[in-house]
């Protein structure tokens, strides 16, 4: 886990991302997949590629000319999508429970300071109280 990069993401989400430009269920809006700076609605990952724009990974296979958001997030954070920690921080299911940039930032910071909550999946699904609120 790359703690410094995760904290950069949390800070960016708290300071620079408005609710209007945030949705955990979408990396980016419909046609905003090729620019590291998010110009549309996006999730925690989609809004944070700007923090590492020189290392953003692209897929240039026709018809796609787009950022590989998952691959970028794995490299930048050191957390892989198959891991529970990735879903705790970046999972799209949060769009139904806590679809806010502040919530995403607080989840990242919770992971950094306390580790993954034992009941993380129940929190994500809304079955248990959020530990970070």
Over the stretch 92-115, which tens digit does the pLDDT of each residue have? 999 999 999 999 999 999 999 999
In a domain, 132, yes or no: no
For residue 109, being part of any structural domain is answered with yes
- Helix-, strand-, coil-residue percentages of the chain, each rounded to 5: 50, 5, 45
* Alpha helices, DSSP H, located in 3-119: 3-16, 44-48, 69-77, 84-90, 101-114
Position 44 in a domain: yes
> Which domain, by its residues, includes 30?
3-124
- Res 88 pLDDT > 70: yes
Per-residue confidence (pLDDT) for residue 53, from 0 to 100: 84
pLDDT of residue 85: 98
Cα 31 versus chain centre, distance: 19
Average pLDDT rounded to a whole number, residues 1-27? 93
- Decide if 27 is inside a domain: yes
Residue 130 lies in a domain: no
Averaged over 50-64, what is the pLDDT?
76
In a domain, 36, yes or no: yes
Separation between Cα atoms, residue 25 and residue 19, nearest integer Å:
13
Please count the structural domains in the chain: 1
């Amino acid at each position: 886990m790359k703690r410094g990069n995760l904290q950069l993401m949390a800070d960016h989400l708290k300071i620079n991302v408005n609710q209007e430009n945030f949705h955990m269920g979408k990396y980016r809006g419909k046609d905003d997949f090729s620019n590291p700076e998010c110009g549309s609605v996006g999730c925690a990952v989609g809004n944070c590629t700007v923090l590492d724009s020189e290392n953003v990974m692209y897929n240039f296979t026709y018809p796609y000319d787009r950022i590989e958001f998952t691959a970028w997030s794995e490299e930048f954070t050191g957390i892989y999508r198959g891991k529970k920690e990735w879903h705790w921080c970046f999972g799209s299911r949060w769009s139904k429970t806590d679809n806010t940039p502040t919530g995403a930032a607080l989840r990242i910071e919770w992971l950094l300071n306390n580790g993954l909550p034992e009941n993380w999946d129940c929190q994500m699904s809304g079955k248990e109280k959020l530990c970070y609120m």
